[in-house]
Structure 1
Amino acid sequence: MKFQALFFLLLLTCMYMSLAQGSFGNCCLGYVSTLKQRAKKNIESFRMQETDGDCNLRAVVFLLRTRGRTPRELTVCANPEKKWVQDLMVTVGERMRPKN
């Protein structure tokens, strides 16, 4: 009887741990140091990741659209304190703004 209770408790613990791991799915864990010019031209949008909630790192998340045989979306995380990142945010922001 004790073995069954211990096994059940172990099973519940494993299930809880597997559900808890899903909370960091969309968080940046590090920064890129630079981007090539070609990658900068393929940026479609960006968003800010703040340290509130599940994420521990403040970052700018750039969304890149790749072209080729299999088009896909990539995300790149950058340090919002860097000058090149701030300049790129302004450039992409102007590109995203609708033209009248």
Structure 2
Amino acid sequence: MAASPDKIYYMRIALGVIGGIIAGLVIAPEFDQGTSVGIAFAIAAVLFGISVAVAKKMARGLPREVQKKAGYDGIVPFIFMNIVFMVIVYTALHQGTVLK
């Protein structure tokens, strides 16, 4: 049985949150900006790639147009949640260095 497009959308939001938390934990204040951006982008790209594969499997059995859309539906909330949670976690962990 195929999953609804809403489940795929919310799965992407959840993976964006997870990716943001991981990036916030991994990035250290000692890293320069290029390294930090590279790490954040790499984590997001890996999780989005995983979500594309999972979404395509979840969309099997749905109409063809929905299957095509499922691969990239929810990219904006994925990116937004990734950035928001990365900033929140990083700021919470490194408050003393951010406020100097």
**TM-score normalised according to structure 1 size:** 0.24
The structure with more strand, counted as a fraction of residues: 1
Larger Rg: 1
Structure 1 or 2: larger helix share?
2
Higher relative contact order (CA 8 A, sep 6+): 2
